């Protein structure tokens, strides 16, 4: 439990550190290197367009990241009838399920809250993912993946120009790291260049991981399930996939693709208002 709490603090700091390093490399290293002659560079140069694209992806990734943290799932422990003598700790092993509780409610040890439509606890945001912030979490994974892959392409272009090498051969990227390590220890490679090469593999790993997680999460949404329901073997009522999508993304789904906006309200809140 202590390790999980420590990870809950370290993981967000690690993500923010990687984001800061990526931003500095893109703005102050990669993008300026694309300008051959600033005095003759047209207004809509590839460097400026790439910079605008990177800022758009970064703003959406960080914006949705903040909304995931701020839009915490509701604490149902205050509103649910847990019964006489019942403690919130009784939820730990799933042995208690109050009659007034809605499906897929779950007590999180780290958040110390009973949340509705619990999906999982995200250590990189330090928050539970539920009905209120699921859409923002999906957008966060999507734009983080795109920002990492964009940085990967820009970094490869920078390394290609700096080291005068070509990535036309697919094996060139796979053999880049072992060759770079040998050149670094022999003194033929600068520390800054070696750092950028290490970041290339880090961006590739984070980008593919976020893309895979986003696709897996979308598949569960289309089925109307959460990861918690799948893990517990819960049976969900079959509904059309359009209703499942609208429940998570709402009617303003197109706006949520372009700018970070708050998620739709949870079913619990809507039923409570009725």
Catalytic site positions? 122
Which of 151, 149, 97, 137 is CA-nearest to residue 249? 137
What is the dihedral sign for C-alpha 199, 201, 205, 210? positive
Distance (Å) of CA 26 to CA 34, 54, 103, 135, 196: 11, 8, 45, 27, 11
Torsion of Cα atoms, 91 then 95 then 100 then 105, to 10° = 50
């Amino acid at each position: 439990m202590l390790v999980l709490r420590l990870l809950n603090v370290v993981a967000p700091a690690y993500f923010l550190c990687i984001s800061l390093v990526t931003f500095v490399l893109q703005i102050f290293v990669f993008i300026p290197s694309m300008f051959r002659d600033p005095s003759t560079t047209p207004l809509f140069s590839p460097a400026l367009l790439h910079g605008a694209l990177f800022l758009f992806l970064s703003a959406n990734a960080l914006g949705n990241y903040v909304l995931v943290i701020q839009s915490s799932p509701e604490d149902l422990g205050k509103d649910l009838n847990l019964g006489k003598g019942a403690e919130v700790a009784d939820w730990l092993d799933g042995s208690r399920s109050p009659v007034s509780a809605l499906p897929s409610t779950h007590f999180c040890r780290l958040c110390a809250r009973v949340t509705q439509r619990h999906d999982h606890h995200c250590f990189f945001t330090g928050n539970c993912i539920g009905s209120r912030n699921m859409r923002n979490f999906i957008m966060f994974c999507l734009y983080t993946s795109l920002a990492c892959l964009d940085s990967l392409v820009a970094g490869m272009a920078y390394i290609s120009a700096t080291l005068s090498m070509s990535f036309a051969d697919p094996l060139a990227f796979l053999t880049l790291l072992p060759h770079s390590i040998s050149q670094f220890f022999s003194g033929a490679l600068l520390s800054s260049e070696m750092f950028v090469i290490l970041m290339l593999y880090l961006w590739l790993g984070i980008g593919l991981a976020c893309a895979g997680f986003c696709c897996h999460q979308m598949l569960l949404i289309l089925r109307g399930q959460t990861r918690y329901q799948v893990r517990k073997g819960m049976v969900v009522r079959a509904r059309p996939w359009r209703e499942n999508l609208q429940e998570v993304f709402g009617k303003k789904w197109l706006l949520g693709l372009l700018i970070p906006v708050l998620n739709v309200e949870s079913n619990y809140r809507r039923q409570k208002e009725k």
